[in-house]
Structure 1
Amino acid sequence: MTQDLDLSTTSSNLQLDMTTRRVGEASMYIDGKWLPSTSGETFATVDPNTGAEIAQVPRGDSTDVNKAVEAAARVAVEWQFTDAITRAGLLRRLAAVITEHTEELAQIEALDSGHYIAKARDLVAAMPLWLEYWAGAADKVNGRSITVPGNKFSFTVLEPLGVTAHIVPWNYPLLVMVRSIAPALALGNTCVVKPAEDTSLSALKFAELVEEAGFPAGVFNVVTGLGAEAGAALAAHPEVRGITFTGSTETGRLVGKLAAEHVAQVNLELGGKSPFIVLPDARLDDAVEAAIQGFCSHAGQICTAGSRLFLHEDIAEDFLVRMEARLANTKVGDGFDPSTEMGPLVSKKQMERVLSYIDIGKSEATLRIGGSRPKAADGGGYFVEPTVFDNVSPNARIATEEIFGPVTAVIRWNDLDTLIEQCNASDYGLFAVVWGQDITQAMTLARRLQSGNVLINDWFGELPMVPHGGHKQSGNGREEGLEAVHGYTQVKHIGISLDPNPRDSADWIQAPL
């Protein structure tokens, strides 16, 4: 829709009214100012629990992206040479401000993305960990000295890239944003964030807290808009020197192509089709609970989802009976109902995609659990039951294509080498899980699986100190851990001759002109 708007600075007023489930005025945050889109256009963001509109969000485009990048570029050098201890102090202040606003952020995140409220509170409460971790690293990331021939001193320094773009997905909007902007800011980069159009509100609320924490204008900016408009313009902008993108493999390829035009550095966390392997000696109750978390967490809308469930033949039936009993008592419903354990899909479009894959699964395999919409969907929300298909061929579409919903495909196995071959016969390689008490066998699997992350007898919980990323079409680069330093810095070599008469000893003096 288009509105007649005054394009002068507006004020932020992102207040949630839970009686109406609506949010007040939404404005972009550019160069320390709250602005509508230059065009005056907006788009709706909706509550996936009900399908009702929450707010109108500015529909930014290339003009707004230019404003944000220009602001970030203008202050980039000043921010780079701001003392690392000062940058760290601002990150710690931001962590404290977030803690003060945990409930407000959690409610907005739950309403906009479909996380149930208890999960949203946990996610927001964890965010300061990332800010504190990178605040601690800010003054400890250094180059190295290099031994070279002659009377010379040679060393490297790590410098920020400059303006970095952060294109954020809709499944974990706040956490994924924070895990990339925290190292970027700590290491001296400036940031332009483009949140997903389905879940823009929490990034705008976060910008209010950045402002409250005292970050200089232009260091952190948020442009809301559609991916094909604002997102593409940001990835293609020639002054953007680093791009972090989390999302589908298809869109990630496009981001990589746009970045290549101006040779920007790219970090990509893309799709996954993660194997969840249960060995015959596994503790089944623990493994069942972890497997359910693996494909039902946030209604299966996670890149690491354990959507290929490899069960050894000796325990497969027992495992599935226990899973059926557990899922029979799982509450799917409104995210603000305290008894809810799984909320809705993020949008009608995503729900329809998942339902189409369930229809495909019914023609490919045996429907064991779920397969339809629960009673909660009667209120208009985008709910789908946890769904399990049994006796799935490793080559079936539901076993090879990323569904991004609460659906898993059971593949039974009895030979370890065949299991490894089937696990690795995927375009993806983001994540894998192994459950079993024989640690030698579990470690053998972990070493042979083509995956950027493998957990043994555990389920996924991101931590700021642990590197996260994928192999193959699941992406490149690493978020989190000290490995993430490479994604937000560039190496500069500096060499100094200490010889008072360099022409007497230097190799270059004899070189032809």
Structure 2
Amino acid sequence: MLARHYIDGEWLSEGPLGDSTDPASGAVLGQYHAGNAALAHQAAAAARRAFFGTTWAQAPRQRADALFQFADRLEAALEELAELIVAENGKLRAEARGEMMGSISEVRYYAGLARAILGRTLEATPGSFSIMHREAAGVAAIIVPWNAPVTLLVRSLGPALAAGCTCVIKPAHQTPLIHQKVMECLVDCPALAKGVVNSVNESGSDVGEALVSSPDIDVISFTGSSATGQRIMAGAAPTLKRVGLELGGKAPAVVFDDADLDRAVKELTASATMMAGQICVAATRFLVHDAVLPAFSERIAAAFRAVKTGPGASAESQMGSLIDKANEARLHRLIEQAGDEGELLLKGDNPFGRTSKGAFVSPSLFRIEDTSSALVQEELFGPLVSVERFADEAEAVAKANATPYGLAASVHTRDLERAMRLSRAIRAGTVWLNCHSRLFPEGETGGFGQSGLGRLHGVEGLNEFLETKHIYMEQGLPGGAA
């Protein structure tokens, strides 16, 4: 399979070839053409011509039709795409199917909203008339990560197209074949106008940097690391682009002494190991009340130890692979650091041996008291979780808010009033109560602090791609009345 660029309605085979590999085996799955800054500028120019040269931005019914057609085509290709996600991304088949079903639901959600973009009117003074008109912000650049290559594309692309924007996509170089198949589903839609959606692959940063600095781009929608988000903000500043960023996370799960420990352990094991911990909302810090710390630690260590790590295609696997061997090596170093700085409750390793071609690390747990440690402060992006103690609500809140991140958190308690107090006090864009990692199209997600700017999903996700224009007229009153 070969992944190509798509610009102004044409597939282009330009640029050097790179390999796409299966992280669970190291096998080469296909190739992709790596783009460059010139192709990025060509795509941005095509998108700008489509924005100003077609009626796409003024045609909500056409946009809704295109999105519904896209959802139908994704649904028809669901099994093929899920298999490709397993092969190229390494996640479990159940996770891949869940990603596809969530993506299809998201596209249909925004298809519905495309025909419901409403402004407002007012009469500020007698005989005056103001229209607050909501219209597309312009050309959107969508920069997509590898960890959920379909979901994290459509949650930006769906609202951008619904709003009337035209788009340029830069997919992750680790998952180009998945993106190629998604693009094939999209460009086959009869209602999609030529040039409205464009896509340029890359293997480095040239394409992304070109899009960020391009005067033809009006909006950047990026999902990825906080460090890259900072560079994007700086790169977008000279052209004063609107920037939407969903960045890193360090989600605390606060477990009180009255929590249902069986339920909490089940929820937190699943949320810490989903996608091998390679998701920004994963539960990565377990903050546990002193009274239940020994019991919780014993139960969660047993649950983590029981997780079977293996290829995503295997029905026996309960956690899939990492994205590549470089990340496996990085996590091994972090596990050793955790043993030096704290107490390893469970030391993960590659169940197939570190010299194997598959990129695997089984779940790890460590106790730590130093909240200032880089292991607590930084996103580790893998199945490596800290266990930290607290004595009361005040300490729980202080520790939950002790990192620069604020993307997600969870609170586990039978006390409803306490749950509400904590959910209000924790500085996070999403707080789950007695569960973790529930994401759906209707509910906004986004972060506080270094977890980003703006919101995705929901109505606010659509607003990220809309501008408000004030149109004013003094038409007077009938008969010239004052």
Q: Is the 8 Å Cα contact of residues 126 and 477 (structure 2) preserved in structure 1?
A: no
Give yes or no for the alignment of 1:290 onto 2:267. Answer: yes
Counterpart pick for 1:419 among 391, 396, 419: 396
CA distance in structure 1 between the partners assigned to 2:93 and 2:234 by the alignment = 38
SS of 1:310's partner is: strand
One-letter code of the match for 1:120? A
After TM superposition, give the deviation of residue 250 of structure 1 in Å.
0.5
Give yes or no for the alignment of 1:160 onto 2:130. Answer: no
One-letter code of the match for 2:182? F
In the other structure, the counterpart of 1:19 is none
Counterpart pick for 1:496 among 444, 456, 473: 473
SS of 1:381's partner is: coil
CA distance in structure 1 between the partners assigned to 2:244 and 2:325 by the alignment = 29
CA distance in structure 2 between the partners assigned to 1:118 and 1:455 by the alignment = 22
In the other structure, the counterpart of 2:92 is 116
CA distance in structure 2 between the partners assigned to 1:353 and 1:504 by the alignment = 76
Matches within 5 A, 1:177-196: 177-196=153-172
CA distance in structure 2 between the partners assigned to 1:300 and 1:332 by the alignment = 12
In the other structure, the counterpart of 1:91 is 67
Structure 1 window deviating more from structure 2 (97-106 vs 354-363): it is: 354-363
In the other structure, the counterpart of 1:138 is 114
Q: Is the 8 Å Cα contact of residues 144 and 171 (structure 2) preserved in structure 1?
A: yes
CA distance in structure 1 between the partners assigned to 2:312 and 2:462 by the alignment = 36
Give yes or no for the alignment of 1:317 onto 2:273. Answer: no
Quick one: structure 1 residues 380 and 495, their matched pair in 2 at CA, closer, same or farther if it must change by over 3 Å?
Answer: same
Q: Is the 8 Å Cα contact of residues 365 and 387 (structure 2) preserved in structure 1?
A: yes
Give yes or no for the alignment of 1:468 onto 2:468. Answer: no
SS of 1:485's partner is: helix
CA distance in structure 2 between the partners assigned to 1:82 and 1:143 by the alignment = 14
In the other structure, the counterpart of 2:246 is 269
CA distance in structure 2 between the partners assigned to 1:283 and 1:460 by the alignment = 18
Q: Is the 8 Å Cα contact of residues 122 and 130 (structure 2) preserved in structure 1?
A: yes
CA distance in structure 2 between the partners assigned to 1:502 and 1:384 by the alignment = 80
Matches within 5 A, 1:196-345: 196-214=172-190, 215-345=192-322
Q: Is the 8 Å Cα contact of residues 275 and 309 (structure 1) preserved in structure 2?
A: yes
CA distance in structure 2 between the partners assigned to 1:57 and 1:348 by the alignment = 20
Give yes or no for the alignment of 1:365 onto 2:336. Answer: no
Runs of 4+ in 1 over 6 A off after TM superposition: 500-505
CA distance in structure 2 between the partners assigned to 1:329 and 1:308 by the alignment = 19
Q: How many percent identity over aligned positions?
A: 34
CA distance in structure 2 between the partners assigned to 1:137 and 1:228 by the alignment = 34
RMSD between superposed Cα atoms in Å: 1.8
SS of 1:141's partner is: coil
Q: Is the 8 Å Cα contact of residues 56 and 62 (structure 2) preserved in structure 1?
A: no
Provide the TM-score with structure 1 as the length reference. 0.90
CA distance in structure 1 between the partners assigned to 2:301 and 2:248 by the alignment = 28
Runs of at least 5 residues in structure 1 that lack an aligned partner in the other structure: 1-23, 506-513
One-letter code of the match for 2:51? A
After TM superposition, give the deviation of residue 377 of structure 1 in Å.
5.4
CA distance in structure 1 between the partners assigned to 2:330 and 2:33 by the alignment = 27
Counterpart pick for 1:55 among 17, 26, 30: 30
SS of 1:271's partner is: coil
SS of 1:55's partner is: strand
CA distance in structure 1 between the partners assigned to 2:43 and 2:410 by the alignment = 41
CA distance in structure 1 between the partners assigned to 2:214 and 2:174 by the alignment = 23
In the other structure, the counterpart of 1:45 is 20
Give yes or no for the alignment of 1:128 onto 2:104. Answer: yes
Q: Is the 8 Å Cα contact of residues 300 and 404 (structure 1) preserved in structure 2?
A: yes
After TM superposition, give the deviation of residue 499 of structure 1 in Å.
2.1
Q: Which has the higher contact order (CA 8 A, sep 6+)?
A: 2
Q: Deviations over 1:131-181 (max 9, x none)?
A: 111111111111111231131111110110111000001111110000010
* Number of aligned residue pairs: 480
SS of 1:44's partner is: strand
